Structure 1
Amino acid sequence: MAFKSCSRLLNHLHTRHTRRPFTPESAWSSNAWLIGDDQTKYLSSNWRRRKMKPDNLAAHMADPLDEDLPMTASEAQQLTVLTNLPFVVPFQTRVGIFTNMLSQDRLSRESDRDVIMHDAGLAESSKVIHVKVRRDFLYEDSFNDLSSHNAPDLHRTLRVTFINQAGAEEAGYGAGVTREFYQQLVRTSFQPGRGLFKLTDDRELYPNPNADHVVENMSQHFYFLGRLLGKMIYEGMQIELPFAAFFLCKLLQPKNADVDINHLQSLDPDFYRNLMFLRSHEGNVADLDLNFTVVDDKFGATRVTELVPGGHDLPVTNENRVRYIHLLSNYKLNVQMRVAVDRFRDGLSNVIPLEWLRMFDHRECQTIISGAEVPINVNDMKDNAAYSGGYTPEHPTIEIFWNVLRS
């Protein structure tokens, strides 16, 4: 009970720190939790195979029905910390554990598929997902070929073929074509013009609250996009896809768990400041002529939604303004995009267990998705570059390339 209470308090403080830092980052992690590579692989294997029960050390101890070797008390303690207080473990250590779990999962699934294919007499080609897409209809064709009906197991390898405007298959295959496919698909899928996502003032993505008025079968599209993001993380592919902090926080929370007013600033800073002004307003709030409703503009059509039953006839006063502020924040952050977030989360968890991602806070999760925001080290790239096709570091074309890259 004491551990549960302490971990809940520390998680609350750390969550607050991720929104508005109040102490150095080094204060949260400890080198005492640095784990060697061999132990990282062992912990990854046990976490992936066992049903984790937070707060319960005994649940991670030896199980007579478990095929794995029993864990020691120290190993069980490490897993308990990872599932309850992950931020005390250095980020790079957690990344190593996460990467190992994904690698082990891929090997396990591939082994299982080999057995199934052998027993069923299936061809080798059934191990991959064949995707044929027209460049002008990249999203539409991908949405069809990678739907949960046509591709129920998105953990399999993708084999992509592009179809040109003449209807012919383009030459080329392999990792380069697949990476191009992912990059172009992500770019067109999440662009605000498609209507599924919008941009905050900081140009960060979040689900469009009006998506159901723009896209038919909206929930299927958000499920598809969640699976797409999960697939990219699963394959270790990073792409520039900046998500709003509140949205990532919602994805990492259990279903039906809401974020509160403290996250509103990452959605709409001006709206947040207006609510803070209302909370501290020293005059008579009733003079502002507010009631417990919210007005939405749906493509030129105004819709009034009551925050509580009878909210249209309930004025906002000095006495009830705090309740009004929290209800309005809840509507903006949770109610109006609940279906979209839930379906996106469902799609994401179809590929990657959310328990694994919850090792990271929303900032770290963004790093997993897009990589760290650090300057490119051109000299390091040059020192580690490999040349072929008759090119050498002294070749004029290569020298021009590095000069252009530096500039």
Structure 2
Amino acid sequence: MSTKGQEDPGEDCASRVGAESPSSDMKRAAAKKLIELYFYQLTKGCGNPQCDNQNCASSGKITNLTPNQAAAQAIQLFSQEARLCDGTQPSKVARTTLEPGPASLTKSLPVKNVNAACSEEGKSEPYLTEARLMEIIEKCKSEGSYSLLIRTLGEVFSRGEALSRSFQKTSKADSPLAALLDKAPDSLLRPPGDLSKEAVRSLQGEDKEEDSSDPSPVVPSDDDTSVDLPAVRRSFAALWSLPGEAFESALVNALVTLADNIELELRVFNTIPSDSMDSLLNVFLIVFEIPTLANLEYLDLALHMLCKAVSCFPILAQAKLARIWAKHCKPRLPSILQALQELITVKVIGGSFTRDYCVQDADTITAPTKVMKILYYASMLSGDLDGPELIPDEESDNSVDKVARRSITSQIPQDPLAKELGLSALDARKPFIPFTDFYNEPLSDAIEMDKDFAYYKSEEPMKFSFMNYAFILTPATKTLGLYYDNRIRMYSERRMSFLQMVVGQPTHPYLRLKVRRDHLIDDALVELEMVAMENPSDLKKQLVVEFEGEQGVDEGGVSKEFFQLVVEEIFNPDYGMFTTQEDTQMTWFNSTSFESDAQFILIGVVLGLAIYNNVILDVRFPMVVYRKLLGRKGGFADLEDWGPTLYRTLSELMNYTEDDIAETFMQTFRVAYKDVFGNISFHELKENGDELYVTQENKKEFLDLYADFLLNKSVERQFKAFKRGFQMVTDESPLALLFRPEEIEQLVCGSKIFDFAELEAATEYEGGYTVESEAVRNFWRVAHSLPPESQRRLLQFTTGSDRVPVGGLSRLKMVIARHGPDSDRLPIAHTCFNVLLLPDYSTIEKLQDRLLKAINYSKGFGML
């Protein structure tokens, strides 16, 4: 109860208004609250074990009442003005309850304090409902003073117990009583009087689903909450219709106190009791509905404190928060993500980071990143997910594949939150928020990946590594993480080779391939096959390629050309191992290939080596290949990229709703396909498939079986061998940890953005050239005027590859060096170091002539 001269924000409207001629609405509300007390007394009791009230559960004289029966009896007791025990009070929320008697209908009862740390003993815990907040707002408007609102927000939002009790739904256990009271006529709620027999009978009907002896709120399921989120949003909308200065400072200060206290408790106790987890989640579900979390005042003071508290949640609580956000807060998710992104960006830009104190050490950055991971999974849960049927069955795989899978699984730790949710980024066909919206470029640019990689490898559990939160990093930054992992493995293999030489077991410190240009494929595959058979770990050594009869020393450039030539030849349909899709010009496996499994294994090795050695290839696989490499089967949705024309046709069948589908499409479970020679072949998706027509009932089965045949079963032998070779190189790499399928495509094929302006901005100059040199300016005039195909040749001539690296051409760091005065010599390139040696040509016409000859007729390596 409030003392004289003070207004208790937890006090009910009726007690503040007083007892002056209450209206009929007030009388009705008071009667309903009194009936709630009888209901609670019948089901929970007053707590006195010596109670002698026969209408109280504590007396032991009432047993096995269902909520329906208790509701009917409560109304009867009210109509009879029966005795009500002194200690009776509802437990489901901190409701204001009423004592019996005509003179005391508007007298408020204190609510038992359940958390002494939050309020003084014997004093009621404040809480808010939508109605109460609206009333306070109206009262403050009428008085022209917001002191009551400020005081109420400060008390409720600074205390976890108070906030967790606020904005609660009506519990299921109370629903029989609440539903009746909401619809009851006034005569029913006016004592004395008897309840009609019909109403009593309807309430006393047995309802097995509602049968419970506990009238407190039903414990929410894993994806449900007791918070009335629509009411929270309406309340905040009303609150933010007021001038912000009227309450926001008080709210921010309250949130800081709230977060600080919760974080302290979680760090001290290091766990959340199961009966307290829902209350704690209620607090943060309400707080993250605040519409102005991205405002500077909240970013500076409150938001990162709230994130620190949430980051202390155990995995079970984080998983439940993700499920609730996915189910109940979808429209709110982008706003929460924006607030977290702005917080991280502000802290990165405003921070003073050094090698000794880097972004991984700043909890103002790492804490919102941890919260963003919860949001990341919530976005996937609320989007389009693939079913478990697209996860390969291990039992159907051969033993070689299972060994490879176990190897990968043992090397890459599974994210605990993903494991608890039973979810992977591979399951998300289309998340609610695009994956790219989670990238934070300022953070990605500020991270020193060598140190982050060291933290990732550290055995200390307190070391935070963004490699475990790869969703926030741009592909270019993640590529650096993969690069450090690959280089460390290469250096490790090199050290082992030197140690073996010392003890008399000479080995090669590099993976050395010597090939002839006119027998490139045969030589490369034979040598790689020998390595894979004798010592597969040698594939993790640094690759060094030598073209027979050429004098180039491989510091990277020779390897780039080697991969380029291998890809051009081996993925040519004439070679017979791969085909080209007609409508997409993409490369696919030849299901009728006569090549052995060993050949496909070696092609997988080549692709793995290209990634391992940071070489970009001119390969055009459909996205389903990368999904399959990461451990998923192809499904119907993958046909959209694999064969758009076929997908559109099948989509028409899928979306057809008439009953004459069999007569309209005349499609059976026997399908036709072309082999590499253009011959038509047939395949029955089910036994006697030619006699089974597609109908409305079985069309989904047909589409799934058809996609499974095209993308999985028809090329099962070839793809398993290809994947096995790929894993021989990448099995210990954090590739699957860092990259999603579309990012691996960028890793293999490079960026699709071909912007020479980026290259010019990132180019450096040596040997006397500057950005203002006449020859340099002429070079860029010529380069920008070239058609795209010639620009690619220029890129190939200068860097050894015509592909754009992940992150764009700015990542190449090309160097243009002066190569003597004006002369008739052609430009020369050191592709290993991206260096172009350019003579100081006197005219732009001469420069253009010499440059075009160099890029159009250059092939091979020679000594300078």
TM-score range, shorter chain: 0.7 to 0.9
Q: Which residue does the alignment assign to 1:286?
A: 662
1:143-176 Cα distance to aligned partner (Å, 9 max, x none): 112222477422234443334xxxxx23333233
Q: Which residue does the alignment assign to 1:246?
A: 624
SS of residue matched to 1:305: strand
Q: Please say which structure displays the higher CA radius of gyration.
A: 2
1:180 aligns with 2:561: yes
1:361-397 Cα distance to aligned partner (Å, 9 max, x none): 1221112122222233357547634456x98878877
Change over 3 Å in CA distance of 1:96–1:7 after alignment to 2: farther
Distance in 1 (CA, whole Å) between partners of 2:781 and 2:442 is 44
1:195 aligns with 2:576: yes
Q: Which residue does the alignment assign to 1:101?
A: 485
1:332-364 Cα distance to aligned partner (Å, 9 max, x none): 111111222221111111111276221211221
1:272 aligns with 2:684: no
Q: Which residue does the alignment assign to 1:162?
A: 547
Change over 3 Å in CA distance of 1:10–1:186 after alignment to 2: closer
Q: Which residue does the alignment assign to 1:28?
A: 438
Change over 3 Å in CA distance of 1:273–1:30 after alignment to 2: same
Q: Tell me if structure 1 keeps the 8 A contact 2:511–2:543.
A: yes
Q: Which residue does the alignment assign to 2:589?
A: 207
Distance in 2 (CA, whole Å) between partners of 1:306 and 1:379 is 53
TM-score normalized with structure 2 length: 0.38
Distance in 2 (CA, whole Å) between partners of 1:89 and 1:392 is 34
Q: Tell me if structure 1 keeps the 8 A contact 2:672–2:681.
A: yes
1:297 aligns with 2:671: no
Q: Which residue does the alignment assign to 1:62?
A: none
Distance in 2 (CA, whole Å) between partners of 1:43 and 1:243 is 34
1:146 aligns with 2:524: no
Distance in 2 (CA, whole Å) between partners of 1:128 and 1:143 is 17
1:54-109 Cα distance to aligned partner (Å, 9 max, x none): xxxxxxxxxxxxxxxx4224548x67x44xxx424554443332222112211222
Q: Tell me if structure 1 keeps the 8 A contact 2:456–2:464.
A: no
Distance in 1 (CA, whole Å) between partners of 2:668 and 2:756 is 55
SS of residue matched to 1:154: helix
1:245 CA displacement: 0.9
Q: Which residue does the alignment assign to 2:735?
A: 357
1:262 aligns with 2:672: no
TM-score normalized with structure 1 length: 0.77
- 1:40 counterpart (449, 452, 456): 452
1:249 CA displacement: 1.1
RMSD between superposed Cα atoms in Å: 3.2
Amino acid paired to 1:172: G
Change over 3 Å in CA distance of 1:33–1:156 after alignment to 2: same
- 1:222 counterpart (579, 600, 604): 600
Q: Tell me if structure 1 keeps the 8 A contact 2:760–2:780.
A: no
Q: Which residue does the alignment assign to 2:385?
A: none
1:226 CA displacement: 0.9
Q: Tell me if structure 1 keeps the 8 A contact 2:587–2:621.
A: yes
Change over 3 Å in CA distance of 1:160–1:43 after alignment to 2: same
1:71 aligns with 2:481: no
SS of residue matched to 2:681: strand
Q: Tell me if structure 2 keeps the 8 A contact 1:252–1:354.
A: no
Q: Tell me if structure 1 keeps the 8 A contact 2:426–2:627.
A: no
Amino acid paired to 1:162: F
Q: Tell me if structure 2 keeps the 8 A contact 1:378–1:405.
A: no
SS of residue matched to 2:671: strand
Deviates more, 1:377-386 or 1:264-273: 377-386
Q: Tell me if structure 2 keeps the 8 A contact 1:261–1:326.
A: yes
SS of residue matched to 2:430: helix
Aligned positions, number = 360
Change over 3 Å in CA distance of 1:118–1:309 after alignment to 2: farther
Q: Which residue does the alignment assign to 2:804?
A: none
Distance in 2 (CA, whole Å) between partners of 1:11 and 1:128 is 36
Change over 3 Å in CA distance of 1:158–1:385 after alignment to 2: same
Q: Which residue does the alignment assign to 2:853?
A: none
Percent of matched pairs sharing the same residue: 24
Distance in 2 (CA, whole Å) between partners of 1:24 and 1:291 is 38
Amino acid paired to 1:188: E
Q: Tell me if structure 2 keeps the 8 A contact 1:44–1:98.
A: no
1:137 aligns with 2:515: no
Change over 3 Å in CA distance of 1:240–1:303 after alignment to 2: closer
Distance in 1 (CA, whole Å) between partners of 2:434 and 2:772 is 45
Q: Tell me if structure 2 keeps the 8 A contact 1:145–1:151.
A: no
Amino acid paired to 2:673: D
Q: Tell me if structure 2 keeps the 8 A contact 1:293–1:311.
A: yes
SS of residue matched to 2:429: helix
Amino acid paired to 2:500: I
List aligned pairs for 1:43-62, cutoff 5 A. 43-46=455-458
Q: Tell me if structure 1 keeps the 8 A contact 2:623–2:742.
A: yes
Structure 2 stretches of 5 or more lacking a match? 1-315, 320-416, 786-864
- 1:328 counterpart (698, 702, 706): 706
Distance in 1 (CA, whole Å) between partners of 2:659 and 2:690 is 22
1:250 CA displacement: 1.0
SS of residue matched to 1:15: strand
Change over 3 Å in CA distance of 1:10–1:144 after alignment to 2: closer
Q: Which residue does the alignment assign to 1:50?
A: none
Distance in 2 (CA, whole Å) between partners of 1:385 and 1:30 is 27
Q: Which residue does the alignment assign to 2:328?
A: none
1:244 CA displacement: 0.9
1:176-226 Cα distance to aligned partner (Å, 9 max, x none): 33332222112212223322223333333232233x2xx431x22221111
Distance in 1 (CA, whole Å) between partners of 2:708 and 2:666 is 21
Amino acid paired to 1:269: P
Change over 3 Å in CA distance of 1:100–1:279 after alignment to 2: same
List aligned pairs for 1:366-405, cutoff 5 A. 366-378=745-757, 380-381=759-760, 384-387=763-766, 400-405=778-783
Change over 3 Å in CA distance of 1:44–1:345 after alignment to 2: farther
Q: Tell me if structure 1 keeps the 8 A contact 2:639–2:647.
A: yes
Change over 3 Å in CA distance of 1:121–1:280 after alignment to 2: closer
SS of residue matched to 2:734: helix
Structure 1 stretches of 5 or more lacking a match? 47-69, 164-168
Higher RCO structure, 1 or 2 (CA under 8 Å, sep 6+): 1
